[in-house]
């Protein structure tokens, strides 16, 4: 009975949290969507026709998969006003679909409850004690709370490392394209094509920048959105250099060449730093894993021989 009440309480808590998240999302409607609703209702009232009523199912579908959000494009979804909290983390991890934020909130709210209930049910079927079941349930609850955030940050780190390692090579290709007479848009297209296999994350980011500029977004805003999406310091420095070059009218190829050399030096220094840290990181595996086995193999026969000699003397 106590287990049933506990599971029921956690299920109710999870559903209540999910309802709060959905309610908060309903308040974050875009200004364009609200203005469109007001305009449609006003025009319908002027024409003497009643505004069309939308059913509950259609409202739920629009909340979960809003068409206006998909039409506004990626740049507006990851704008400076929305790039806060979990939204910008999802963008940096590569989850940029319209319903990614709602799915993430649903996972954060429902996964702890499911794991908690699953641990309790599995423990009851396994026949272990109630204290062990409670311990496993709390461990499963903690795992459900922290696993989505850990997975998200791990994916962000892996994506940022790939972009950071491939950026100097992309800048070398960018220098060659600019010196050959190509514009910045064409150079971005060339980078996205050439790095599609070696660095798909970097190729995707440059392709998004090019699409935004083709769609009519100013180049400065598209570059700033690139820095916001990636969150990589080298990309932020590159964006700042490109914006400064465009504003001051200096040579783009020369600036790119100098910046590429500096990024290549920084990459070599990071590799040297990682190599220097290797000796320190090897201390713990050697002390706790390798040295005990070596001591047993080397000192074991000698210790056995000592005990064989000393034990008769002691008797």
Distance CA 286, CA 52 (A): 73
Residue 208 lies in a domain: yes
Residue 315 lies in a domain: no
Q: How far is CA 198 from the centre of its chain?
A: 20
Residue 204 lies in a domain: yes
Residue with tokens 């083709």: 214
DSSP 248-274: HT--HHHHHHHHHHHHHHHHHHHHHHH
- Under DSSP, the state recorded for 303 is H
**Which residue range is the domain that position 245 belongs to?**
159-274
Closest CA to 101 of 49, 152, 46, 174: 152
Same-domain check for residues 150 and 164: no
Residue 297 lies in a domain: no
Distance CA 311, CA 24 (A): 77
Same-domain check for residues 66 and 187: no
Q: Give percent above pLDDT 70 in the chain.
A: 72
Same-domain check for residues 171 and 229: yes
Q: Which of 157, 176, 207 is the last residue of a domain?
A: 157
Residue 55 lies in a domain: yes
Distance CA 306, CA 292 (A): 19
- Under DSSP, the state recorded for 169 is H
Same-domain check for residues 152 and 172: no
Confidence band for 2, pLDDT divided at 50, 70 and 90? low
Each residue's pLDDT tens digit, 152-211: 889 999 998 888 888 888 888 888 888 888 888 888 888 888 888 888 888 888 888 888
Residue 307 lies in a domain: no
Same-domain check for residues 39 and 60: yes
Same-domain check for residues 123 and 199: no
Same-domain check for residues 151 and 73: yes
Distance CA 101, CA 243 (A): 31
Q: Which of 136, 157, 178 is the last residue of a domain?
A: 157
Sign for the CA dihedral angle at 207, 213, 217, 223 comes to positive
Same-domain check for residues 12 and 151: yes
Distance CA 93, CA 163 (A): 12
Sign for the CA dihedral angle at 216, 222, 225, 226 comes to positive
Q: Which of 157, 181, 204 is the last residue of a domain?
A: 157
Q: Give pLDDT, residue 244.
A: 87
Distance CA 82, CA 91 (A): 11
DSSP 25-53: HHH---HHHHHHHHHHHHHHHHTT-PPPP
Same-domain check for residues 47 and 139: yes
Query: 3-state DSSP call for residue 82?
Result: coil
Each residue's pLDDT tens digit, 20-60: 655 555 554 444 455 455 554 545 454 554 444 545 555 55
Sign for the CA dihedral angle at 227, 229, 232, 235 comes to negative
Same-domain check for residues 171 and 115: no
Same-domain check for residues 247 and 167: yes
- Domains in the chain, number: 2
pTM here is 0.61
Residue 283 lies in a domain: no
Residue 113 lies in a domain: yes
Same-domain check for residues 120 and 173: no
């Amino acid at each position: 009975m106590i287990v049933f009440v506990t599971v029921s309480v956690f299920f109710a808590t999870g559903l209540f949290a999910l309802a709060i998240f959905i309610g908060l999302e309903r308040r974050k409607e875009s200004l364009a969507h609200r203005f469109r609703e007001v305009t449609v209702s006003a025009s319908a009232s002027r024409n003497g026709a009643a505004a069309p009523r939308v059913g509950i199912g259609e409202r739920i579908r629009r909340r979960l998969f809003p068409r206006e959000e998909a039409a506004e494009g990626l740049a507006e979804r990851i704008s400076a006003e929305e790039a806060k909290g979990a939204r910008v983390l999802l963008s940096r991890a590569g989850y940029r679909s319209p319903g990614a934020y709602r799915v993430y909130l649903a996972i954060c709210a429902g996964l702890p409850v499911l794991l908690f209930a699953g641990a309790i049910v599995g423990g009851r079927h396994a026949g272990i004690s109630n204290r062990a079941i409670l311990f496993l349930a709390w461990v499963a609850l903690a795992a459900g709370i922290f696993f989505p955030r850990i997975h998200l940050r791990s994916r962000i780190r892996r994506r940022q490392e790939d972009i950071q390692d491939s950026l100097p090579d992309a800048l070398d290709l960018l220098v060659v394209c600019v010196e050959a007479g190509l514009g910045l848009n064409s150079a971005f297209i060339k980078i996205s094509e050439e790095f599609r296999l070696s660095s798909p994350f970097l190729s995707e980011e440059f392709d998004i920048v090019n699409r935004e500029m083709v769609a009519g977004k100013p180049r400065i805003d598209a570059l700033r959105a690139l820095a916001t999406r990636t969150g990589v310091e080298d990309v932020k420095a590159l964006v700042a250099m490109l914006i400064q070059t465009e504003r001051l009218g200096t040579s783009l190829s020369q600036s790119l060449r100098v910046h590429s050399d500096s990024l290549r030096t920084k990459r070599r220094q990071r590799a040297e730093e990682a190599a220097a840290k290797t000796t320190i990181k090897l201390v713990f595996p050697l002390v706790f894993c390798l040295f005990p086995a070596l001591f047993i193999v080397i000192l074991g026969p000698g210790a056995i021989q000592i005990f064989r000699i000393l034990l008769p003397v002691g008797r």
